[in-house]
Amino acid sequence: MSEELNDVVVNNYTVGDVVNGQITKVEEKQVIVAITDSKLDGIIPISELSSLHIEKASDVVSEGDQLELEVIKVEEDALVLSKRKVDAEKAWDQLEEKFKAGEVFEAEVKDVVKGGLVVDLGVRGFVPASLVEAHYVEDFSDYKGKTISFKIVELEKDKSRLILSHRAVVEEEKSKQKQNLLDSIEVGQTLTGTVQRITDFGAFVDLGGIDGLVHISQLSYDHISSPTDVVQEGQEVKVKVLSVDRNNDRISLSIKETQPGPWANIAERAEKGSVLDGTVKRIVSYGAFVEVFPGVEGLVHISQIAHKHIGTPHEVLKEGQEVQVKVLDVNEAEQRLSLSIKELTEKEVDEEEVYELPEESKGFQLGDMIGEQLKKLKN
């Protein structure tokens, strides 16, 4: 007879009806409910309390709780009820709206299982490990009981499939932050950033959500063979914005332009009349350029290379040669330095040819020579 009662009305209730009731007793594996406006009691099996697995009924409900429940079975003296089904039906409607709107919402992580996290949203929501964070996480145990933000990435009500992602929220926030930062950056600004990555051609600096490239030529005024000669990953640096390409999310930066230039205070470092060591960097028809400080070259005019006349500087100098130079003039504003090599060398003196008499003729007087000739004439 009880099987027949499942398909008929008993005390005006049938399977599928939604009723209200108050919990009067919480047992370990079931809950007793006093149904509103009825003398019948209701029983909620522990499996019908939540969409998640629970060990005891008291983990979910307490005595005195008012609940909305669905009739899943009709007995002669009681109704078998489900809290899970009512919660799920309401939840699916709300979740479909959130899914369509791409809404971000917060929820508590109820459990950590193999492969990800479990969230109770009225229905069981699963967060695969790959969708928890934008970075790799080895241990998820700290996530249990933690409330974090999610987006729904997959929803199939007929399969009770609900996939959530916290990673999507993180990446969306980063994207917004990146765009806001990109819109605010202007050419000429000096910013502080962190060296994120180093390549053969330069260093990428994180400006707080977006990376900019410092080309190797913009790392230092000195000649360097590798970016690691100047910077290291994780190092905090000051950079100047050289250009911003908002269409391609590219920012060009410079470290060297935040530092004093090689010509700064050159009048003090290369005073007029001072003597400096240098290296011949370039030879041209009218002279030679000598580097006296990193990034600072001065001109030794061809007339200041040697005391003697030379047709080309190559007769005396070669590139890479170490030389000493004297500062003739310095102009910091125009970044010009006039140098001399010849003023530090002695002038070569031409030796005059001196005629000396033979040894045997030394002591002879002019008169002696004439007298000897007169004797010959008399004879």
Residue 377 in any domain: the answer is no
**Lookup result for tokens 């003196």:** 349
Pair (8, 67) in one structural domain:
yes
Residue 90 in any domain: the answer is no
What does the alpha-carbon distance between residue 351 and residue 323 come to, in Å, rounded to a whole number?
A: 28
Residue 135 in any domain: the answer is yes
Pair (70, 107) in one structural domain:
no
Residue 295 in any domain: the answer is yes
What does the alpha-carbon distance between residue 339 and residue 279 come to, in Å, rounded to a whole number?
A: 12
Pair (254, 278) in one structural domain:
no
- At residue 174, what are phi and psi to the nearest 5 degrees? -65, -40
Q: How many domains does the chain have?
A: 4
**Do residues 271 and 231 lie in contact, with contact meaning Cβ atoms separated by under 8 Å?**
no
Report residue 76 as tokens.
């002669």
Residue 129 in any domain: the answer is yes
Residue 372 in any domain: the answer is no
CATH number at residue 69: 2.40.50.140
Query: Can you say whether residue 160 is alpha, beta or left, with left for phi > 0 and alpha for psi between -120 and 50 degrees?
Result: left
Chain-centroid distance of CA 91 in Å reads: 41
What does the alpha-carbon distance between residue 363 and residue 367 come to, in Å, rounded to a whole number?
A: 12
Task: Walk along the chain (379 residues) and give the pLDDT tens digit of each residue.
Answer: 344 444 444 568 899 999 999 999 999 899 999 998 888 889 999 999 988 888 899 988 999 999 999 999 998 888 999 998 998 888 999 999 999 999 999 999 999 999 999 998 988 999 999 999 999 999 999 999 999 999 999 999 999 899 999 999 999 998 888 888 889 999 999 999 999 999 999 999 999 889 999 999 999 888 888 999 999 999 999 999 999 998 888 999 999 999 888 888 899 999 999 999 999 999 999 999 999 998 899 999 999 999 999 999 999 999 999 999 999 999 988 999 999 999 998 876 554 444 444 555 444 454 555 455 555 545 5
Which structural domain, as residue segments, surrounds residue 191?
185-258
Residue 245 in any domain: the answer is yes
Return the SS3 of 176.
Answer: helix
Pair (339, 275) in one structural domain:
yes
Pair (236, 215) in one structural domain:
yes
Residue 355 in any domain: the answer is no
> What are the start-end ranges of the E strands in the chain?
18-26, 30-35, 41-45, 66-74, 78-82, 105-113, 116-120, 124-128, 147-156, 161-165, 190-199, 202-206, 211-215, 236-245, 250-254, 275-284, 287-293, 296-301, 322-331, 336-340
